[in-house]
Chains A and B, each alone.
Chain A
Amino acid sequence: MSDFEFKDPSESEEPQGSFVSRIGKGAVKDLITTVLRWRHADYRLLIGSSVLFVLVVFRIAAIFIDVDQLESYLDSDDSGGFRGGGAAKHVTKYCRAVPGLLLGNDRNGYSLAMTIVEAVEAFFEPAMLSCAIAILAGTLLGAVAGYFRGGLLESGIKLSLTVVAAYPRLILVIVAMGFFVAYMHDPGGAIRLRLTMMSTMLGVAYVPVLALAIYQKVGQFQREQFIEAARAHGLSDKRILLYHILLANCAPVIARHFFYLFGYFILVETSLSYLGPQYGVPGSMPSWGNLLAGCSKGDLFSPAVLAPAMAAITSILGLTFLGDAIGERFEKGRT
């Protein structure tokens, strides 16, 4: 008979006592390994995608939220806000904590948290429109100028891009919005039109940035042997440009600039709305810039300033992180 002795698993010496001791050293080791593994995780991707997720959730939530229909906690005499309506329930000083209201109330007396959520509406779709304009026009112009080098087409496109790029983007948008609003019949009314104008202007102002990036990338790839090989295999110029250069090789650049511009639009919208209703979003619409514009010096460290400011900073930073991380992932994953 062998020396081997069967041992019933139920009789094994399991660690007894507390939970920690029961999960044993193996679990601690696993935990440490997991933490160490997380050390190599791309935090930019994690933060960026979380920010984007929150923005999307806020945008969906904003469909169901109408702050004007909520209770206002503003004293009826304190009519400093743009938006009226709602029955005043308590006499509260602006931007002070109100029992039952997360972050307190805004200057109109409405819930600040709800206003911040609803304010996503002011930039989400316009930012998408801006990105669409910049990507479509920028990619097309950059690709054409980069691929058909040495001709009038390239010279003309480069000249026009340089002229637009020479003007500071923010100033260009401010001037354009100023003119546009000044000639509007009802500046406070056509909010959607103003937002569309803003996104179009910013999209156009961003075209040279993307177009020049694509132009350089296409020019660089055109000298690569695989493009020469694609020609040798009989692919058409259109196919090489669209599939081999733009889709396969310029996708990281386009993805990166999409998120940069999304973040940049938030910055511009917040800045213009902060400057006043003649440039940005009218006061009748919730916006992070409007929330900041309504605060006085005394409110500097109150939630009414910190919350929208932090929301804007976090969003811009998160989207920039996301753009970088996705761009790098595209590039690293395949080479």
Chain B
Amino acid sequence: MSAAAYAPAPGAILTARDVWVGVQVGNLIKPIVQGGRLTVPTGGILGLVGESGSGKTQFVRMVMGLSSLEPGVFSGSAIYKIGDTEPVDVLDQIQEFSPFRPPGVDELYPERQRIGWAWPLWRRRFRQRLALLRRLGVGFIFQNPVGALNPYLRVGSQLVEAVRVARPKANRAEAEEGALHWLAEVHLKADRHTLGLYPHELSGGMAQRVMIALALAGEPKFLVADEPTTGLDSHIRLEIVGLLNRIMGQGDLSGIVISHDLPMIARLCDRLAVMYRGRVVEEGPIEALGNLKSPNHPYTRELKERAEALAQGKHRRSGSERADAGGTGVVVGRGCIFRTRCGLYARAKAGSGILDTARCEGDLPALDHIAEGHEVACFAGTKLTEAATWEYGEADHD
């Protein structure tokens, strides 16, 4: 698809389409995000869930321009429309400049293409576009706050810098005032002592709060939180979720929350996207997550069941888990990538299902509308409601 074909979705602050991300393994490029797509409405918070290795963090990092992988992203579009500004596509013309092209239908791996010396030039343009994006107001909360703070600089220096990015005309004293303000915002002691601490002198919870303060100091309009509660104890986790809830609930802040923690996603987000093995398999309203009886992709259903089981203190071993417990982005060839774990597929194989197994084995399902604002990548499509009814009875419509 040519770059010109991409357009921002109406009312969306971020529209990402057909994003391919890969890592080099020996001589091969292993795709870890395959045709990823997201839509974040202005003022909305999207939750991105999926098991470890499903590519959610890499997908969002590439869309945010935080490339730490080579060759990184090699196809797609990520259009930001922030406020009244012109839309900015950070991946504009990526496919023409990238040394790799996405694999075709019958190909497992992307192929190298001749681009000469243009790739470094594109990277430069990419960074320029990202700098523009940062000025427009995009923030990021990292998963590992201690690693994301410069160990050789005091908290104060780092906060003052972030304040100055948002307010370039602020002098040192004003920037320090700003830093103290953001410390108070994240419920840290706003004094010179805290500003003078080095990252290794902070506890996990304090470091995460400083990380959030750093992201907020840029006065973002679009904020991404990458597993913000990972590695924190339950008490601190609750505090951080409460803090994020307060921050994301105020004003016109939009964003993405990446997490494994479904209850947290349900509390913070308006919409949900589910990734499995580098692909977005479902995108829809958060209500679809909260209700077990609502139609969902079989993988989302599995996630929900496990979260329920954990919450109720029991662990149910599902049929799909027996078949395949891994999820490291391995390309399984043609057909639906989830079929080896899919309960619906297993039932259809046994002769009593709603799925056409030949189709599951031959084609890759694309995201398909099953309801207003709800897309699922499954051949069952609207019959998923029927599947939910089998297992859980009639859906609640109140």
Chain A residues closer than 8 Å to B70, beta-carbon distance? 150
Shortest distance in angstroms between B130's beta carbon and chain A's nearest beta carbon? 7
| Pair A233/B152 contact, Cβ less than 8 Å | no
B120 close to A (CB within 8 Å): yes
Question: Which of A228, A234, A244, A335 lies in contact with B134, CB distance below 8 A?
Answer: A234
- Is A12 located at the chain interface by the 8 A CB criterion? no
Partner of A226, one of B65, B127, B148, B200: B148
Could you tell me the distance in whole angstroms from the C-beta of A221 to the nearest C-beta in chain B?
A: 9
Asked if B66 and A232 make an inter-chain contact with CB atoms under 8 angstroms apart, the answer reads yes
In the complex, B165 has a CB within 8 A of chain A? yes
Please determine whether B66 and A231 come into contact, CB atoms closer than 8 angstroms: yes
CB pair A152–B117 under 8 Å, yes or no, is yes
Binds A, one of B86-94, B136-144, B320-328: B136-144
Who on chain A is nearest to B127 by CB?
A: A237
Is B162 engaged at the interface, CB distance under 8 Å to the other chain? yes
Q: Please give me the residue from chain B that is nearest to A249 by CB atom.
A: B152
Q: Which residues of B contact A229 (CB under 8 A)?
A: 140, 142, 148-149, 211, 214
B139 contacts across to A, CB distance below 8 A: 232-233
- From B117, B123, B140, B150, A248 is in contact (CB under 8 Å) with B150
Q: Which residues of A contact B103 (CB under 8 A)?
A: none
Q: Is A230 part of the contact surface with B, judged by Cβ < 8 Å? A: yes
Residues of B contacting A231 in the complex (Cβ-Cβ under 8 angstroms) = 65-66, 130
The reply to whether A335 and B200 contact each other, CB–CB distance below 8 Å, is yes
Q: Contact at B152–A224, with CB atoms within 8 Å?
A: no
List, in ascending order, chain A residues with CB within 8 A of B135's CB: 234
Q: For chain A residues 8-59, which have a beta carbon within 8 Å of chain B?
A: none
- Shortest Cβ gap from A286 to chain B (Å): 43
Task: Establish whether residues A226 and B130, one from each chain, have CB atoms under 8 Å apart when the complex forms.
Answer: no
Residues of chain B contacted by A152 (CB below 8 angstroms): 117, 120
Is A297 interfacial (CB-CB < 8 Å)? no
Residue A223 at the B interface, CB < 8 A? yes
Does B370 belong to the interface (CB within 8 Å)? no
Contacts of A151 in B (CB 8 A): 117, 120
Q: Does B153 contact A (CB under 8 A)?
A: yes
Add 16 more A-B contacts to A225-B142, A226-B148, A335-B152 (CB < 8 A): A150-B119, A150-B120, A151-B120, A226-B147, A229-B214, A231-B66, A232-B134, A233-B140, A233-B165, A233-B218, A234-B135, A239-B161, A244-B150, A334-B152, A335-B151, A335-B200
22 contacts between A and B (CB under 8 A): A148-B120, A150-B120, A225-B148, A226-B150, A226-B151, A228-B148, A233-B134, A233-B139, A233-B215, A233-B217, A234-B135, A234-B162, A234-B165, A237-B127, A243-B161, A244-B150, A248-B150, A248-B152, A334-B152, A334-B198, A334-B200, A335-B198
What are the nearest 7 A-B pairs in CB distance? A234-B134, A232-B140, A151-B120, A229-B148, A248-B152, A234-B165, A225-B147
